Amino acid sequence: MLFSLEELDQACSIVYENLPPTPQIHWPLLSTRVGAEVWVKHENHTPIGSFKVRGGCVFLKHFKQQNPEANGLITATRGNHGQSIARAAAAAGVPVTILVPVGNSVEKNKAMEAFGGKLIIHGEDFDGAAEEARRLAGVENLSMVPSFHKSLAMGVATYARELLENIADLDTVYVPIGQGSGISGLITTRDLLGLKTKIVGVVSQNADAYALSFEHGQIHTTDTAATFADGMACKVPQEAAMEVIWKGCERIVRVSEEDIRDAVIALYRDTHNIAEGAGAAAFAALMTEREKMAGRRVGVILSGGNIDLELFQKITTDSGSVEKSF
């Protein structure tokens, strides 16, 4: 197990000191669209508009306890992880430096700065930003916050517990995969609760390193991760996350950029919720598997709603390709 039930209880206590539980809502129009009973876990309803806020709360609590004299933190992100760490670090009185790649979401960048993070733009993608963050950590004596960590996974697993304990007899839950904390927390929580719910991971077909690794039983990397769903733009899977995924994931579904675009539109039309690309990916996968899931009770994780206005307008008004929207 990635963590114990007692540790999950402790994580819940930390998270609920900082934010309330998010809702899980049954949306009839979504259900009609796919022919299944659809429950959406609304992680777009958190104080940063993403599930990541939970992991930041738990990580900073543990970090402060273990490193009371630390000089500061540094991390790399495409946005939601950075907002989470910046928000929690500010509350804990810990300075944080955040590395993002060139071309990152303008609005996520502004949010990270507003939460108190020092923003540095470096590299062509997440991996380039992460490499520079590790270099600066040594140069400036800062503690590196990884993209995957037990405390982060425990924190985000609190949403999994809310969903699984509130909605009985879920056949399947679809969850997007970025760096792996969400799906790992979901699988571990499912197992701790002794449930049989199947967990299905979702990746962009343009960033399918996790799918390749799952299928081959060993870590596979990709040269690019060119998707407008920046929360899933991963080239190098986390081995610790893969260990959990290999043991407990039913399958990993690849979705196209057009599939994700269609899901963003469907979620807005049917629920009037705005989803970022990664946030819409779980429902995108369910739409592609509607025949397989017909008549079943299904959960989808709307992991975040932090999409730039310009991109959202393009997706919802342009019937053409979104391949160059990232």
- Report the chain's mean pLDDT, rounded to a whole number: 95
Residue 173, SS3 per DSSP = strand
Cβ pair 25, 42 in contact under 8 A? yes
pLDDT at 319: 52
Per-residue pLDDT of 266-302, as tens digits, reads 999 999 999 999 999 999 999 999 999 999 999 999 9
pLDDT at 326: 43
Query: What average pLDDT does range 216-234 have in this prediction?
Result: 94
Query: What average pLDDT does range 218-242 have in this prediction?
Result: 95
Indicate where the chain has its CATH 3.40.50.1100 domain(s): 5-51+150-317, 52-145
Q: In the CATH hierarchy, which fold is given to the domain comprising 5-51+150-317?
A: Rossmann fold (3.40.50)
pLDDT at 69: 85
The matching CATH number, chosen from 3.40.50.720, 3.40.50.1100, 3.40.50.150, 3.20.20.80, for 52-145 is 3.40.50.1100
Answer yes or no: is pLDDT of 214 > 50.
yes
Per-residue pLDDT of 294-316, as tens digits, reads 999 999 999 999 999 999 999 98
Angle ∠(160,53,153) on CA atoms, nearest 5: 50
What is this structure's pTM?
0.95
Per-residue pLDDT of 126-175, as tens digits, reads 989 999 999 999 999 999 999 999 999 999 999 999 999 999 999 999 99
Taking the CA atoms of 241, 246, 250 and 254 in sequence, report the sign of the dihedral they define: positive
Distance separating alpha carbons of residues 75 and 107, to the nearest angstrom:
18
Query: What average pLDDT does range 118-122 have in this prediction?
Result: 97
pLDDT at 322: 53
Cβ pair 200, 249 in contact under 8 A? yes
